[in-house]
Chain A
Amino acid sequence: MEKSIEQIWKDGFLKQEALIAPKVNDLYNRKSIHLVEKFQRMFKINIWGIIIGASLILIASFGAGAGLAGVIIFITLLAVAYSAKLDSDGLKQLDKGQSSFEYLSSFREWIQQSIEKYGSLYRIVYPVFILTFYFGLWFSDLLEPIREKVAENSSNLIFGMHVPTTLLIIGGAIAMGFFAKRIHREDVELMYGKIMGKLDEALQEMEELRTTK
């Protein structure tokens, strides 16, 4: 009996064998490469962001008459960027000859180590950044009128700086140093959260495949 096109289609797919998915041998390999390459691209953009930001701060600081503070912040940020560049080179050394699971696990480990390392680094960088910014800005040409006004109206001064404000800033800088790891972790989550989510998902899928084999 003749069948309609619609019926052939329906009947043909009633048999499950018509819908057997092919083996996707290379899929996880490609997923791994995609993840790591995407991360490397984002990391590179991040490094350039730091360098450009540091340069802009340097230019602005000279414009505001706080050149010394600008130079200190510039050097600090450049050191962070250089350290990140070295780490990025280290990422290229990950053994691509490993299985996708091992490769991604090494990559995950690299990220964890990197978060730990930068968390520790920012314990120093954040306070240096805040204090240099505060002192630099306070003694800059830009804030001269405010400085004079504070000197006229307040007796609570040390080296020409308003004591409660200075203490507050120092307290803030210490707190930033103290919470640096947590702040950095949040920062990483915000920037690389999606890609790390995919990484965990891929690792979990691969782990499941390994255990069900």
Chain B
Amino acid sequence: MPYAGIIIKICRAYTDTEEDFEDYYQEVCLQIWKSKDRFQDQSEWSTWVYRLTLNVCLTLMRKSKKQKKYESNELSPGDQKEENAPSISDESLNQLYAAIRELSEIDRAVILLYLEEKSYQEIAQIMGTNPNNIGVRIKRIKERLKKKLDGKVN
């Protein structure tokens, strides 16, 4: 799968368990395969993959939130399984991912695109927002991440 790296990086930021990660990855692959005929040359293929991956992750996340809400009403606290967060051998990266997962859905997308060295223009294009706000938003997100990582980063 071309651009598998992009998909992996984004899916990890939106999932709490290894199982969910695999499901999200699979769903993104399926959606790319289903809709690649609709890809138009107006944007880069990578931009299109980013946008589609983010959309799939956000949709699945919202669905899963609803499902969890429903299940938490159905199950007693003791029935709930302990979650098994997907881990990577690099501890710093793991901590960074954990901090990213605490951000809002949109902030996660923005910071992921920033870390992937996308320009403000591209980030705005993918997110469907104004590029003028992106810089300020990224600055705020980075500050929040630094706080969450508790001085482990500069």
Point out the residue from A4, A15, A30, A198 that lies within 8 Å of B30, measured CB to CB: A30
Asked whether any CB of chain B lies closer than 8 Å to the CB of A27, the reply is: yes
Could you give, for residues 1-40 of chain A, a 1 whenever the CB lies within 8 Å of some chain B CB and a 0 otherwise?
0111110110111010111111110110011001000000
Instruction: Across the interface, name the chain B residue whose C-beta is closest to A18.
Output: B88
Point out the residue from B29, B115, B145, B152 that lies within 8 Å of A27, measured CB to CB: B29
Instruction: Across the interface, name the chain A residue whose C-beta is closest to B22.
Output: A22
Assess whether B9 is in contact with A13, with CB atoms less than 8 Å apart.
yes
Lowest 6 A-B CB distances belong to which pairs? A12-B93, A22-B22, A2-B154, A12-B90, A9-B115, A8-B92
Q: Which residues of B contact A6 (CB under 8 A)?
A: 115
Q: Which residues of A contact B9 (CB under 8 A)?
A: 13, 19
Could you give, for residues 85-99 of chain B, a 1 whenever the CB lies within 8 Å of some chain A CB and a 0 otherwise?
000111011001000
Number of interface residues of B (CB under 8 A): 31
Number of interface residues of A (CB under 8 A): 26
Q: Which residues of B contact A22 (CB under 8 A)?
A: 18, 21-22, 25-26
Asked whether any CB of chain A lies closer than 8 Å to the CB of B77, the reply is: no
Asked whether any CB of chain A lies closer than 8 Å to the CB of B37, the reply is: yes
Assess whether A34 is in contact with B34, with CB atoms less than 8 Å apart.
yes
Q: Decide if the interface of chain B is mainly helix, strand, loop or mixed.
A: helix
Instruction: Across the interface, name the chain A residue whose C-beta is closest to B37.
Output: A194
Contact A9:B93 (CB < 8 A) given known A18-B88, A19-B4: yes
Q: State the Cβ distance, B110 to closest chain A Cβ, in Å.
A: 13
Asked whether any CB of chain A lies closer than 8 Å to the CB of B63, the reply is: no
Expressed in whole angstroms, the Cα–Cα distance for A152 and B62 within the complex equals: 77
Q: State the Cβ distance, A178 to closest chain B Cβ, in Å.
A: 34
Query: Which residues of chain B from 115 to 154 have any CB-CB distance to chain A below 8 Å in the complex?
Result: 115, 142, 145-146, 149, 151-154
- Mark A residues whose CB is within 8 Å of B: 2-6, 8-9, 11-13, 15, 17-24, 26-27, 30-31, 34, 194, 198
Assess whether A23 is in contact with B22, with CB atoms less than 8 Å apart.
yes
Expressed in whole angstroms, the Cα–Cα distance for A21 and B151 within the complex equals: 31
Point out the residue from B4, B18, B96, B146 that lies within 8 Å of A9, measured CB to CB: B96
Q: Which residues of A contact B30 (CB under 8 A)?
A: 27, 30-31, 34
Assess whether A21 is in contact with B90, with CB atoms less than 8 Å apart.
no
Assess whether A3 is in contact with B93, with CB atoms less than 8 Å apart.
no
Instruction: Across the interface, name the chain A residue whose C-beta is closest to B88.
Output: A18
Expressed in whole angstroms, the Cα–Cα distance for A27 and B4 within the complex equals: 15
Asked whether any CB of chain A lies closer than 8 Å to the CB of B70, the reply is: no
